[in-house]
Copies of this chain bind each other. A is one copy, B any other.
Amino acid sequence: MENKDIFIKKLRSSGLRPTRQRIEICKVLYDRKKTFHFTINDLSKILKKKSNEKISLATIYNTVCAFKNRNYLKEISINSSKSYFDTNVSNHHHFFNESTDELIDLKNEDVGNIKLKKKIPGKKIKSVEVLVKIQDNN
């Protein structure tokens, strides 16, 4: 399991000791090929299924928050009821399927280049992101 070493590095560089629980969290987050979009509740349920450890919500929040601060995870705000996180930390755009509450990455090339014609003096731009809300054709 060479990935484990990568996870340990991720944890250490986030200021966290590599513990059993945190390694399990890393496996769910990063042991996959595609981008993972999730809520804390999603992550918690997956951990309950896939891992033998019981991992408390406090530990999950703690680890996710540290990864977010270290820019190993990105937070996405879609609606007020809960927070989404994204293993794709680059600036990018999203579809949000309101029928399934599912987030889907949009590649930057799938969205024409966005040129802002308005500037605000004394302010710098931190990000420009597009959210496309979609629904099932009923």
Contacts and interface: CB of A to CB of B under 8 A. Distances in A.
Contacts of A114: 111-112, 114, 130
Count this chain's copies in the assembly. Answer: 2
Nearest to A99: B123
A78 B83 CA distance: 10
A95 interface: yes
Task: Tell me if A's interface is mostly helix, strand, loop or mixed.
Answer: strand
7 nearest interchain CB pairs?
A: A110-B118, A80-B83, A123-B134, A126-B133, A112-B115, A127-B133, A110-B117
Interface of A: 75, 77-80, 82-83, 95, 97-99, 104, 106-107, 109-118, 120, 122-137
B111 A117 contact: yes
